Protein backbone atom coordinates (compact mmCIF):
# COMPACT_ATOMS: atom_id res chain seq x y z
CA UNK A 1 0.00 0.00 0.00
CA UNK A 2 1.11 3.55 -0.73
CA UNK A 3 0.89 5.75 2.36
CA UNK A 4 0.18 9.49 2.52
CA UNK A 5 3.86 10.48 2.75
CA UNK A 6 4.72 8.38 -0.29
CA UNK A 7 1.75 9.77 -2.20
CA UNK A 8 2.77 13.36 -1.44
CA UNK A 9 6.29 12.57 -2.70
CA UNK A 10 4.83 11.24 -5.94
CA UNK A 11 2.62 14.32 -6.40
CA UNK A 12 5.52 16.70 -5.65
CA UNK A 13 7.85 14.85 -8.04
CA UNK A 14 5.14 14.91 -10.71
CA UNK A 15 4.71 18.67 -10.33
CA UNK A 16 8.48 19.28 -10.36
CA UNK A 17 8.68 17.03 -13.42
CA UNK A 18 6.08 19.06 -15.33
CA UNK A 19 8.12 22.23 -14.62
CA UNK A 20 11.33 20.55 -15.85
CA UNK A 21 9.38 19.18 -18.84
CA UNK A 22 8.20 22.70 -19.62
CA UNK A 23 11.83 23.92 -19.55
CA UNK A 24 12.86 20.97 -21.77
CA UNK A 25 10.20 22.09 -24.28
CA UNK A 26 11.77 25.55 -24.41
CA UNK A 27 15.26 24.05 -24.82
CA UNK A 28 14.10 21.63 -27.54
CA UNK A 29 12.24 24.31 -29.47
CA UNK A 30 14.70 27.21 -29.14
CA UNK A 31 18.21 25.66 -29.21
CA UNK A 32 17.95 24.27 -32.79
CA UNK A 33 16.59 27.66 -33.91
CA UNK A 34 19.62 29.41 -32.37
CA UNK A 35 17.49 31.37 -29.88
CA UNK A 36 18.16 32.14 -26.22
CA UNK A 37 16.48 29.80 -23.76
CA UNK A 38 16.16 32.56 -21.13
CA UNK A 39 14.75 35.58 -22.96
CA UNK A 40 12.14 36.49 -24.05
CA UNK A 41 9.26 34.79 -22.27
CA UNK A 42 7.38 32.19 -24.33
CA UNK A 43 4.95 33.60 -26.86
CA UNK A 44 2.25 32.27 -29.16
CA UNK A 45 3.76 30.75 -32.34
CA UNK A 46 0.88 32.14 -34.44
CA UNK A 47 0.28 35.72 -33.26
CA UNK A 48 3.45 36.30 -31.21
CA UNK A 49 1.59 37.55 -28.11
CA UNK A 50 3.63 36.85 -24.95
CA UNK A 51 1.98 34.21 -22.83
CA UNK A 52 0.17 35.27 -19.66
CA UNK A 53 1.70 33.75 -16.51
CA UNK A 54 -1.39 31.55 -16.02
CA UNK A 55 -0.68 30.00 -19.42
CA UNK A 56 2.84 29.11 -18.30
CA UNK A 57 1.54 26.72 -15.60
CA UNK A 58 2.49 23.28 -16.92
CA UNK A 59 -0.33 21.02 -18.15
CA UNK A 60 -3.07 23.16 -16.50
CA UNK A 61 -2.29 26.18 -18.67
CA UNK A 62 -2.71 24.08 -21.79
CA UNK A 63 -5.88 22.35 -20.54
CA UNK A 64 -7.56 25.55 -19.25
CA UNK A 65 -7.19 27.16 -22.67
CA UNK A 66 -8.17 23.89 -24.39
CA UNK A 67 -4.91 23.87 -26.34
CA UNK A 68 -5.61 27.22 -28.02
CA UNK A 69 -4.03 30.68 -27.81
CA UNK A 70 -6.17 33.04 -25.68
CA UNK A 71 -5.70 35.88 -28.15
CA UNK A 72 -5.78 34.50 -31.68
CA UNK A 73 -7.49 31.17 -30.83
CA UNK A 74 -5.03 29.26 -33.03
CA UNK A 75 -4.20 25.74 -31.79
CA UNK A 76 -1.10 25.47 -29.59
CA UNK A 77 1.14 22.53 -30.53
CA UNK A 78 0.44 19.39 -28.50
CA UNK A 79 4.23 19.03 -28.19
CA UNK A 80 4.09 21.39 -25.18
CA UNK A 81 1.59 19.22 -23.35
CA UNK A 82 3.58 16.11 -24.30
CA UNK A 83 6.85 17.45 -22.85
CA UNK A 84 5.18 18.55 -19.60
CA UNK A 85 3.31 15.28 -19.06
CA UNK A 86 6.36 13.19 -19.99
CA UNK A 87 8.39 15.18 -17.42
CA UNK A 88 5.72 14.69 -14.76
CA UNK A 89 5.29 10.95 -15.23
CA UNK A 90 9.00 10.20 -15.67
CA UNK A 91 10.07 12.21 -12.63
CA UNK A 92 7.35 10.68 -10.42
CA UNK A 93 7.97 7.11 -11.55
CA UNK A 94 11.78 6.97 -11.90
CA UNK A 95 12.39 6.03 -8.23
CA UNK A 96 10.01 3.08 -8.69
CA UNK A 97 11.42 2.00 -12.06
CA UNK A 98 15.14 2.23 -11.28
CA UNK A 99 16.22 -0.36 -8.75
CA UNK A 100 19.71 1.00 -8.01
CA UNK A 101 19.43 4.37 -6.16
CA UNK A 102 22.78 5.72 -7.44
CA UNK A 103 21.61 5.17 -11.03
CA UNK A 104 18.90 7.79 -10.40
CA UNK A 105 21.68 10.39 -10.51
CA UNK A 106 22.04 9.50 -14.21
CA UNK A 107 18.41 8.65 -14.89
CA UNK A 108 17.01 12.10 -13.99
CA UNK A 109 19.23 14.17 -16.30
CA UNK A 110 18.87 11.46 -18.97
CA UNK A 111 15.05 11.73 -18.83
CA UNK A 112 15.23 15.54 -19.13
CA UNK A 113 17.68 15.33 -22.05
CA UNK A 114 15.50 12.79 -23.89
CA UNK A 115 12.43 15.05 -23.58
CA UNK A 116 14.34 18.05 -24.98
CA UNK A 117 15.80 15.98 -27.85
CA UNK A 118 12.41 14.43 -28.69
CA UNK A 119 10.82 17.89 -28.83
CA UNK A 120 13.72 19.21 -30.97
CA UNK A 121 13.48 16.27 -33.39
CA UNK A 122 9.67 16.46 -33.69
CA UNK A 123 9.68 20.24 -34.14
CA UNK A 124 12.86 20.80 -36.19
CA UNK A 125 13.73 17.27 -37.41
CA UNK A 126 17.12 17.82 -35.84
CA UNK A 127 19.05 16.52 -32.85
CA UNK A 128 21.24 19.55 -32.16
CA UNK A 129 24.99 19.16 -31.55
CA UNK A 130 24.68 22.08 -29.13
CA UNK A 131 22.85 19.64 -26.82
CA UNK A 132 24.57 16.40 -27.82
CA UNK A 133 28.20 17.44 -27.23
CA UNK A 134 27.68 18.80 -23.68
CA UNK A 135 25.51 15.73 -22.92
CA UNK A 136 28.24 13.32 -24.09
CA UNK A 137 30.81 15.04 -21.85
CA UNK A 138 28.41 15.31 -18.89
CA UNK A 139 27.39 11.63 -18.92
CA UNK A 140 30.98 10.50 -19.61
CA UNK A 141 32.11 12.26 -16.42
CA UNK A 142 29.15 10.87 -14.42
CA UNK A 143 29.95 7.35 -15.64
CA UNK A 144 33.56 7.74 -14.53
CA UNK A 145 32.23 8.33 -11.01
CA UNK A 146 29.25 5.93 -10.97
CA UNK A 147 29.77 2.60 -12.70
CA UNK A 148 28.00 -0.51 -11.39
CA UNK A 149 29.27 -2.37 -14.48
CA UNK A 150 32.97 -2.48 -15.47
CA UNK A 151 34.16 0.49 -17.60
CA UNK A 152 34.60 -1.62 -20.73
CA UNK A 153 30.86 -2.42 -20.80
CA UNK A 154 30.00 1.29 -21.17
CA UNK A 155 32.77 1.76 -23.74
CA UNK A 156 31.49 -1.22 -25.70
CA UNK A 157 27.92 0.12 -25.43
CA UNK A 158 29.09 3.44 -26.92
CA UNK A 159 30.80 1.68 -29.86
CA UNK A 160 27.96 -0.82 -30.45
CA UNK A 161 25.21 1.81 -30.24
CA UNK A 162 26.89 4.43 -32.42
CA UNK A 163 28.43 1.82 -34.75
CA UNK A 164 25.12 0.08 -35.48
CA UNK A 165 23.40 3.27 -36.58
CA UNK A 166 26.50 4.40 -38.48
CA UNK A 167 26.30 1.11 -40.42
CA UNK A 168 22.58 1.72 -41.09
CA UNK A 169 23.34 5.24 -42.36
CA UNK A 170 26.04 3.88 -44.72
CA UNK A 171 23.54 1.30 -45.96
CA UNK A 172 21.03 4.05 -46.72
CA UNK A 173 23.71 6.22 -48.33
CA UNK A 174 24.73 3.35 -50.67
CA UNK A 175 21.14 3.21 -51.89
CA UNK A 176 21.16 6.97 -52.42
CA UNK A 177 18.88 7.78 -49.49
CA UNK A 178 19.55 9.65 -46.30
CA UNK A 179 17.97 7.74 -43.48
CA UNK A 180 19.90 8.12 -40.30
CA UNK A 181 21.15 11.54 -39.23
CA UNK A 182 24.41 12.26 -37.39
CA UNK A 183 22.34 13.22 -34.36
CA UNK A 184 20.68 9.79 -34.25
CA UNK A 185 24.09 8.09 -34.36
CA UNK A 186 25.45 10.26 -31.53
CA UNK A 187 22.31 9.74 -29.44
CA UNK A 188 22.50 5.95 -29.76
CA UNK A 189 26.21 6.08 -28.86
CA UNK A 190 25.28 8.12 -25.78
CA UNK A 191 22.58 5.59 -24.84
CA UNK A 192 25.24 2.86 -25.02
CA UNK A 193 27.64 4.85 -22.86
CA UNK A 194 24.93 5.40 -20.23
CA UNK A 195 23.46 1.87 -20.26
CA UNK A 196 26.29 -0.45 -21.22
CA UNK A 197 26.57 -3.06 -23.96
CA UNK A 198 23.71 -5.40 -22.98
CA UNK A 199 21.02 -2.73 -22.55
CA UNK A 200 21.99 -0.74 -25.65
CA UNK A 201 21.28 -3.90 -27.62
CA UNK A 202 17.73 -3.85 -26.18
CA UNK A 203 17.51 -0.12 -26.97
CA UNK A 204 18.49 -0.80 -30.63
CA UNK A 205 15.88 -3.58 -30.93
CA UNK A 206 13.02 -1.72 -29.23
CA UNK A 207 13.62 1.56 -31.11
CA UNK A 208 13.79 -0.25 -34.48
CA UNK A 209 10.60 -2.14 -33.64
CA UNK A 210 8.71 0.98 -32.48
CA UNK A 211 9.96 2.95 -35.49
CA UNK A 212 8.93 0.37 -38.07
CA UNK A 213 5.53 -0.33 -36.46
CA UNK A 214 4.77 3.41 -36.23
CA UNK A 215 5.99 3.99 -39.80
CA UNK A 216 3.84 1.14 -41.16
CA UNK A 217 0.75 2.36 -39.27
CA UNK A 218 1.26 5.92 -40.57
CA UNK A 219 1.64 4.61 -44.17
CA UNK A 220 -1.52 2.48 -43.76
CA UNK A 221 -3.40 5.50 -42.40
CA UNK A 222 -2.24 7.52 -45.41
CA UNK A 223 -0.33 10.01 -43.22
CA UNK A 224 3.07 9.08 -44.67
CA UNK A 225 4.12 8.39 -48.26
CA UNK A 226 5.53 4.93 -48.83
CA UNK A 227 8.29 6.24 -51.11
CA UNK A 228 10.70 8.61 -49.34
CA UNK A 229 8.86 8.16 -46.06
CA UNK A 230 10.59 10.21 -43.40
CA UNK A 231 10.12 9.83 -39.68
CA UNK A 232 12.34 11.56 -37.13
CA UNK A 233 14.13 8.68 -35.41
CA UNK A 234 15.20 10.49 -32.21
CA UNK A 235 11.88 9.96 -30.37
CA UNK A 236 12.11 6.21 -31.02
CA UNK A 237 15.67 6.07 -29.69
CA UNK A 238 14.44 7.95 -26.60
CA UNK A 239 11.52 5.54 -26.09
CA UNK A 240 13.75 2.52 -26.73
CA UNK A 241 16.35 3.87 -24.29
CA UNK A 242 13.80 4.35 -21.52
CA UNK A 243 12.31 0.87 -22.13
CA UNK A 244 15.80 -0.64 -21.98
CA UNK A 245 16.60 1.26 -18.80
CA UNK A 246 13.38 0.24 -17.02
CA UNK A 247 12.69 -3.25 -18.36
CA UNK A 248 15.98 -4.17 -20.05
CA UNK A 249 17.14 -6.89 -17.69
CA UNK A 250 13.88 -8.93 -17.71
CA UNK A 251 13.58 -8.32 -21.50
CA UNK A 252 17.14 -9.58 -22.07
CA UNK A 253 16.51 -12.78 -20.05
CA UNK A 254 13.26 -13.38 -21.94
CA UNK A 255 14.98 -12.79 -25.30
CA UNK A 256 17.88 -15.12 -24.48
CA UNK A 257 15.34 -17.69 -23.24
CA UNK A 258 13.85 -17.86 -26.76
CA UNK A 259 17.01 -19.59 -28.00
CA UNK A 260 17.28 -22.24 -25.30
ZN1 LIG B 1 -1.86 33.59 -30.61
pLDDT tens readout for residues 119-129: 999 999 999 99
Residues 1 and 81 in one domain: yes
Residues 63 and 191 in one domain: no
pLDDT at 35: 87
pLDDT at 227 over 80: no
Residues 147 and 227 in one domain: yes
- How many whole angstroms from 46 Cα to the centroid of ligand 1? 5
Within 8 A by CB and 6+ apart from 119, the residues are: 24, 25, 27, 28, 29, 79, 82, 83
- How many whole angstroms from 120 Cα to the centroid of ligand 1? 21
Question: Confidence band (pLDDT; 50, 70, 90) for 118?
Answer: very high
Average pLDDT over residues 200-219: 92
Number of compact structural domains in the chain = 2
Domain assignment present for residue 120? The answer is no
Question: Confidence band (pLDDT; 50, 70, 90) for 222?
Answer: confident
- How many whole angstroms from 51 Cα to the centroid of ligand 1? 9
Residues 41 and 150 in one domain: no
Give the Å distances, CA to CA, from 144 to 101, 103, 133, 152: 17, 13, 17, 11
Domain assignment present for residue 151? The answer is yes
Residues 148 and 260 in one domain: yes
Give the Å distances, CA to CA, from 9 to 95, 96, 108: 11, 12, 16
Contact (Cβ atoms closer than 8 angstroms) between residue 213 and residue 168: no
Residues 89 and 129 in one domain: no
Average pLDDT over residues 163-183: 85
pLDDT at 129: 94
- How many whole angstroms from 83 Cα to the centroid of ligand 1? 20
In angstroms, the CA 108 to CA 65 distance is: 30
Residues 64 and 146 in one domain: no
- How many whole angstroms from 30 Cα to the centroid of ligand 1? 18
Residues 84 and 203 in one domain: no
Residues 90 and 28 in one domain: yes
- How many whole angstroms from 81 Cα to the centroid of ligand 1? 16
Residues 135 and 91 in one domain: no
Residues 176 and 237 in one domain: yes
In angstroms, the CA 178 to CA 228 distance is: 9
* Residues 73-112 pLDDT 10s: 888 888 889 999 999 999 999 999 988 889 999 999 999 9
- How many whole angstroms from 72 Cα to the centroid of ligand 1? 4
Domain that holds residue 43: 1-97
Residues 166 and 246 in one domain: yes
Amino acid sequence: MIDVVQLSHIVLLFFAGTLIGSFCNVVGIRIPAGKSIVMPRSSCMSCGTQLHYTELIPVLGWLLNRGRCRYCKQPVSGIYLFGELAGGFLFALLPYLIAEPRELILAYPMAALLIALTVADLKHRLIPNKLMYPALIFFFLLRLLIHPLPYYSYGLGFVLGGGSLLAVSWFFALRGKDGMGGGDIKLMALMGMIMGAKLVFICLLVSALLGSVTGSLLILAGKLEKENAYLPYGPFIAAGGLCALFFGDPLASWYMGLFH
